[in-house]
Amino acid sequence: MLSYHQSLEWLEKSSWAAGIRQSLWLYPALEIVHILGIVMLVGAAFLFDLRLLGFSRELPLSGLSRHLLPWSQRGLILIIPSGLLLFLTNAQALGIDPVFWTKIGLILLAAFNVFWFHRFIYGPFTRWGATGELPGAARLCAAISIVVWVAVVACGRLLAY
C-alpha cells in the first residue's frame, strides 16, 4: 500500500497530470472553468444569503430559492472536476500545504452549513407552508455561509502564490 506522500507523487506523475502541465491551453482552461464555477456557486449563494439577512425583502424566498440554488449546483458541476484536475498537477505541494487543507476544511464546513440549513431550517419551514421571515437560525446560517465562502476564495487565491 502506498503512503500518503507516495500517493501524492503517483497522482502528480500520472499521465493526466503530465498532460495538463504540458498542454499550452489545458491548465488555463481548467482555471477558467474552476473560476466560472466558483462565480456561479458563490454568487448565487451570496444573493440567497443576503435575502436571508433581510435584503430585498420584496423577493419571495421560495422563488429566489428555485431560481438561484440550481445555479449553485451547476457551479459545483464545474468546480469539482476542474478542481480535482488542477490538484493533480501539483499534488505533492498542495497535499502538504496547510492553506489547501484549510480551504478543504472550509468547503466541508460550507457543505455542512448548507445541509443543516436545508434539512432543519428551510425544509421544515417550506413543508409547513409557513410564510414571512425564517427564524434567526436562518440568518446565522446565511452569515456563516458568507464568511466561509469569502475565506474559501481567499485560501484559493493564497494557493496561487
Position 64, amino acid? L
The predicted model scores a pTM of: 0.92
CB-based burial of residue 79 (10 Å sphere; 0-12 exposed, 13-18 middle, 19+ buried)?
buried
21-35 pLDDT, tens digit per residue, is 999 999 999 999 999
CB-based burial of residue 142 (10 Å sphere; 0-12 exposed, 13-18 middle, 19+ buried)?
buried
Cα atoms in the Cβ-side hemisphere of radius 13 Å centred on 1: 2
Q: Which residues of the chain register pLDDT less than 70?
A: 127-133
CB-CB contact of 136 with 125 (8 Å): no
Q: What is the span of the domain harbouring residue 95?
A: 4-159
Q: How far apart are CA 71 and CA 27, in angstroms?
A: 24
What single-letter DSSP state applies at residue 69?
H
Q: Which of 85, 78, 121 is nearest to 11 (CA)?
A: 85
Number of domains in the chain: 1
